[in-house]
Amino acid sequence: MTLPDPWDAAAAGYRWQEPLERRSLGTMLAVLAPREDEVVLDLGSGVGHVPRLLGRGAGSRTVALERSPRMLAAGSFAGALPLRADVTSLPLPDGSVDVVTAAWVLHVLDEAQRALAVAEVARVLRPGGRLGVVVPGVPRTRAQVLLRSVARAAATARGLGAFAVPHELPALLTDHGLQVRHHSRTGGGYLADVVVCTRAADVTQRSAGPGAATTPGPQP
Ligand SMILES: C[S@@+](CC[C@H](N)C(=O)[O-])C[C@H]1O[C@@H](n2cnc3c(N)ncnc32)[C@H](O)[C@@H]1O
């Protein structure tokens, strides 16, 4: 028997929180600026917020990759190809993607899964390809700390994943040949860190097992 995906239960009505993501996703997409002819892969696409903001339309070369069948069923992907798969094992050839987006997904993975996902991104991106990441910003004020712990407790109770601020993210990206070109913080909705990287030409594949690339990196 296959267990339901924990995110299935969140699919109905998931679009309610899209206004809270708009600033961070808009910043990421403005920096990435994918061209019409580029292949874009959106990881953990949910109900398709990133593909809809991209607005590339039918016939675009955009893939909306998502693990939860109900997210895919409830989603609307603006011409992107919905693909059910796991971010830790991408069913795409090496160097076949120009732009990867990972919006509000890396923080729901545990450390080992995150390392696997980043290794997979480095594998499927072509040399010079770009990765855009949005993760929760490091809380600074007491109110932010409180809000974050409430959100994390609620997510943990529903089995939605780690919901941790990935402090090691810049170091993890760099260790996989993904050079950080942009790192900013956005508010006006969810507090977020937006990171955009370019894949180096000479990436050698690394072990992404537990403990790989966990050196704490600088925080914005
Ligand atoms: C916080 S939601 C973000 C959805 C979307 N990116 C957005 O910004 O609206 C995280 C999404 O990642 C998906 N997800 C979680 N773990 C995944 C995995 N290992 N592989 C693929 N998708 C995953 C969940 O099903 C969920 O739809």
What CA–CA distance (Å, rounded) separates 153 from 26?
Answer: 28
Across 53-61, average pLDDT: 84
Q: How far is CA 202 from CA 95, 123, 128, 170, 199, in A?
A: 12, 11, 10, 18, 9
Judging by DSSP bridges, how do beta strands 192-199 and 178-186 pair with one another?
A: antiparallel
- Ligand 1: list residues with CB < 6 Å: 7, 21, 44-46, 49-50, 66-68, 71, 86-88, 103-105, 108
Predicted confidence (pLDDT) per residue in 64-98, tens digit: 999 999 999 999 999 999 999 999 999 999 999 99
- C-alpha 127 to ligand 1 mean position (Å): 26
Domains of the chain, start order: 6-138+164-199 (3.40.50.150)
Catalogue the E-assigned strands of 39-177. Answer: 40-43, 62-66, 81-84, 97-103, 125-136
- C-alpha 156 to ligand 1 mean position (Å): 15
Predicted confidence (pLDDT) per residue in 181-198, tens digit: 999 999 889 999 999 999
Nearest CA to ligand 1 atom 26: 46
Quick one: which H or E segment has residue 192?
strand 192-199
Phi and psi (nearest 5°) for 36? -60, -35
> Is the model's pLDDT at 30 over the cut of 60?
yes
Q: Are 134 and 103 in contact (CB under 8 A)?
A: yes
Q: How far is CA 151 from CA 62, 139, 155, 156, in A?
A: 31, 12, 6, 9
- C-alpha 215 to ligand 1 mean position (Å): 25
Phi and psi (nearest 5°) for 198? -120, 140
- C-alpha 64 to ligand 1 mean position (Å): 10
- C-alpha 161 to ligand 1 mean position (Å): 10
Of how many residues is the chain composed? 220
> Is the model's pLDDT at 211 over the cut of 60?
no
Mutation choice for ligand 1 from 7, 21, 113, 135, CB with most ligand atoms inside 8 A: 7
Least-confidence region, from 23-32, 102-111, 145-154: 145-154
Quick one: which H or E segment has residue 182?
strand 178-186
